[in-house]
Structure 1
Amino acid sequence: MASINYRLKKGKSEWSSIYLRFKQGNQFDTEVSTGLECPVNRWSVSKQEVLSTFELNYKEVNKKLDDLKNYIKSEYASTKTDDLTVIINNQWLKLKVDLFFNRQDISIEEKQKIFFADFMDNFIEQSKTKRRRSGDPIKPRTIQHYNTTLNKIISFEKYYNTKLKIIEIDLNFHTKFIDYLEEREKLNNNTIGGYIDVIKMICNNAKNKGLRISHDINTNEFYTPKNKTKDIYLKEEEVNMIFEHKFDADYLDNARDWFVIGLRTGLRISDFLQLKKENIEDGFIFKTTLKTDFPVIIPIHDQVKSILEKRSGEFPREISDQKFNEYIKIVAEKSGLIEKVEGARIDEVEIIENGKKQIIHRKKQGKYPKFELISSHICRRSFATNLYGKLDTLTIMKITGHSTEKQFLSYIKITPREYAEKLKALWEKQKDDV
């Protein structure tokens, strides 16, 4: 069985280089410098490590020596499954040590076996042509999320002047990465949690390909940060207020009509803003959703019918997502949705980047006038919430296109107080019926 040992190559100096010796019987016996040094009198031959000292970060050196040993063993084990015969000699060992410490230009394939960003970049490229078990391709938005996560990793590496190895995605990284995203990027827990989930998935993919990952990845301590969101929805009477309000400005009237269509169909903005006359048949709206490629059939609500009749059977004039989100805040304000409620609003945040002040935009929890918290997401959320308890969950899910009840219930935003009010109303109705 192959063995790995370290020794000091002593000279006249009080510091000596640490050498790695790799040996297996009569097959090979080779040795190279690790490039690491330690004080001569602080090296333990029996423990194969640097003893406690103030002269260097001995814990970090010992960790690198331990990781290097495991890496060499793993690389040697992989040669046994290669089709080509690999000669283990001084040149092979030096390449692996240099590769581990990233000391020279190495092949892309070798980098992908060690460095997290390189492995992830390759994973993303493969995902563009990969198919799920169902046979469906991976959605562009999923690929985009992977790329955003990779960009955060690269920014983190740049900030700390490091290049993360796959094996270094551990609890120490977890703590520093979350701190970095919170303090430097001003991101909230739910956004950070999305990045952590991708990182865990990438690491487990690396493990499935025979690469070494940290045992920390699948422990409870490597958690996904989350915070309770206070997303708002529009009640039936508020939707009616918006529908009934008269707007003098044509652009607000047009935006209001799209808003009501979104609220009464439960579709995502990417779907309801693309509705055409051809999507209507026999009093129903037929639409294959863009995100899930799921066909949905929705009966036409009386308010939507009124909007179509007003426009000679046509849907409102085309509008961009950006303008829609901008205009519906004005629509909601003019319709009277001005009470202050708890929620998250996009605010300007000042950060220091490379010694210069920069303005970024981040969600901030607080109490704001309701119209300021309104965006396109409220359409789908309000549709599901207002129907919940009036129709069975499965029927609503078939319309909204949610694949799981857990996913669907995350859209329901009825507060405990509102549940209590529902129960109170039921009891009062029962009393009146007696």
Structure 2
Amino acid sequence: MATINFLYRSNKDKSNLNLRLLYRKNGIDYVIGGVSKIEVSKEYWSKYHNSKRISDIDTKNLQTEVNNKISELENYILNQFENTIEDTNKDWLKRTINEYYNPTPVETIPNELVNYFEYFKDRKKSEITESTEKKYNTIKALLKKFETSTNKKFLIKDVNENFKKAFEDFCNKNQYSHNTIARALRSIKTICKHAQHNGIEVSHQLDGLKAKYKETDNVYLTFEDLNKIETIEPSKLTESLNNAKDWLIISCYTGQRVSDFMNFTKDQIRIEDGKHLLEFTQKKTTKNMTIPIHKKVLEILEKRNGHFPKPISDQKYNDYIKKVCEIAELNEIVKGGKKTETAPESKVYRKEVKEFQKWELVTSHIGRRSFASNFYGTIPTTFLIYITGHTTEKMFLKYVGKSNKDIALELTKYF
């Protein structure tokens, strides 16, 4: 059993009350002293605090206020005392009093869908990459537009079959592609499952929500296309286009993301047993990579005195390589997705799937797809997956732009 006494121990006219914690343990009596933040006057404490008859209303109110403060602090300390497994001493009492006046803020977990995105990103900030965070920001912005259109703030628990249908209808009306909608719904479900793990109520229909991707045509540059690019008449290219052309060839023979190959430098190259190796860390996966350098890449380095081309922004790279491929006359008609303006001068762009000339579909990702497609069936898949850095063969095969018939015909040479 423990008790607490409050005392006025100062010679000043006004001061904070001291307190003493008294308790018995193993037959021994203990007294621990501390200082509260309850400030009173010396006159009040000596004349009025314990008085039963106070006629002045202000003094009576002060007595009630001080008693409430004393009671709350006393209850907190005694409760902590009963539940502690630590040795109670002066430091413990000082820390307990400080915790009472400076409590650790209670974390508030949002239950609104849009707001939970920020909470999720904050909890996952050490795990998600910059590109993944960008993806979640895009989906969050799409959800805000959806909420505006419905004039409703959706809670985590509102994500059910009705939500899915309404969201799909909104996205279809605004000409978003099927896979964009599927990707958004999968991410929304991930957000909700994370919220559920943190005790937020979710719909009983959440687990049953499915969003399937449609198979898309993977456009890639064949070896014949690459030869056309390599043999472009130099006079047809500006310095910037020639720089981008070399990066494009490098990407098609290294299989790396633009965020990685655009940062290649000669210092990352080492020679072992006469073989040139490139060592770097993938930005997205943080994997340390060592890959062999293809002779086509070595040819570019040789003409550039051992240096890689000049780094440029992703946007400029995308613009330049389209122009390079147009000059190379990659005019084959192929089916693929391309962002187009929904209406003249609308400045609203959506991916449109139809037939285009191949050069129109060239983006920074085509090098990675071209590497996977051109060497699939020639280099063992295990090695290709290592070079591209994919986590599974299933993910890797999504990058292979060949049809089942093309792959079957190539595999006949092994039979």
TM above 0.5, yes or no, is yes
Which secondary structure does the structure 1 equivalent of 2:187 belong to? helix
The whole-number CA distance in structure 1 between the counterparts of 2:115 and 2:362 is 40
Deviation at 1:178, TM superposition (A): 1.1
Q: Does 1:251 align with 2:237?
A: no
Q: Select the structure of larger CA radius of gyration.
A: 2
Deviations 1:376-413 (A, max 9, x none): 11100110111111121111111111111111111111
The whole-number CA distance in structure 2 between the counterparts of 1:213 and 1:152 is 21
**Residues 127 and 143 of structure 1 are in contact (CA less than 8 Å); yes or no, is this contact kept in structure 2?**
no
1:170 equivalenced with 2:160 (yes/no): yes
Which is worse superposed, 137-146 or 360-369? 137-146
Task: Provide the C-alpha distance between the structure 1 equivalents of 2:196 and 2:239, rounded to a whole number of angstroms.
Answer: 58
Tell me how far apart the structure 2 counterparts of residues 198 and 423 of structure 1 sit (CA, whole Å): 37
SS of equivalent residue, structure 2 residue 367: helix
Q: Take 1:410 and 1:231, find their aligned partners in 2: how far apart are those partners?
A: 8
- Asked whether the 8 Å contact 1:231–1:343 carries over to 2, the reply is yes
Instruction: Tell me if structure 1 keeps the 8 A contact 2:278–2:290.
Output: yes
Say if 1:121 and 1:150, in contact at 8 Å, map to a contact too. no
> How far apart in 1 are the matches of 2:343 and 2:391?
40
Matched, 1:140 2:146: no
Report the secondary structure of 2:353's partner residue.
Answer: strand
Q: Does 1:187 align with 2:184?
A: no
* Contact in 1 for aligned 2:114/2:143 (Cα 8 Å): yes
* 2:115 aligned partner: 118
- TM-score for both structures, normalised by structure 2: 0.69
In structure 2, how many angstroms separate the alpha carbons of the residues matched to 1:361 and 1:274? 29
Matched, 1:270 2:263: no
State the alpha-carbon separation in 1 of the partners of residues 257 and 198 from structure 2.
Answer: 37
CA shift in 2, pair 1:113/1:342, >3 Å: closer
Task: Report the TM-score when normalising by structure 1.
Answer: 0.66
- TM alignment of 1:17-36, pairs within 5 A: none
Q: Is the alpha carbon distance of 1:383 and 1:124 closer, same or farther for their aligned partners in structure 2, counting shifts above 3 Å? A: same
1:323 positional shift: 1.2
Equivalent position to 2:361, from 350, 358, 373: 373
In the TM superposition, residue 217 of structure 1 has moved relative to its aligned partner by 1.0
Which shows bigger deviation, 296-305 or 277-286? Answer: 296-305
Shift of residue 339, structure 1, vs aligned partner: 1.3
For residue 346 of structure 2, give the secondary structure of its aligned residue in structure 1.
Answer: strand
Long gaps (5+) in structure 1: 1-82, 85-106, 132-136, 352-356
Which residue identity is paired with 2:229?
A: I
Cα RMSD between the aligned structures? 2.4
- Contact 1:192 1:225 survives alignment (8 Å): no
1:5-404 matches, cutoff 5 A: 112=109, 114-128=111-125, 131=126, 137-184=127-174, 186-219=175-208, 222-248=209-235, 249-282=238-271, 283-350=276-343, 358-404=346-392
Paired AA for residue 319 in structure 1: I
4+ residue stretches of structure 1 with deviation over 3 A?
A: 107-110
Query: Cα deviations across residues 16-51 of structure 1 (Å, max 9, x unaligned)?
Result: xxxxxxxxxxxxxxxxxxxxxxxxxxxxxxxxxxxx
Query: What residue identity is the alignment partner of 1:305?
Result: L
Q: After TM superposition, give the deviation of residue 375 of structure 1 in Å.
A: 0.8
Aligned length: 307
Query: Which structure 2 segments of 5+ residues have no match?
Result: 1-78, 81-104
**Which residue identity lines up with residue 363 of structure 2 in the other structure?**
S
1:246 Cα deviation from its structure 2 partner: 2.4
CA 1:155–1:237 in 2, change beyond 3 Å: closer, same or farther?
same
Q: Which residue of 2 aligns with 1:411?
A: 399
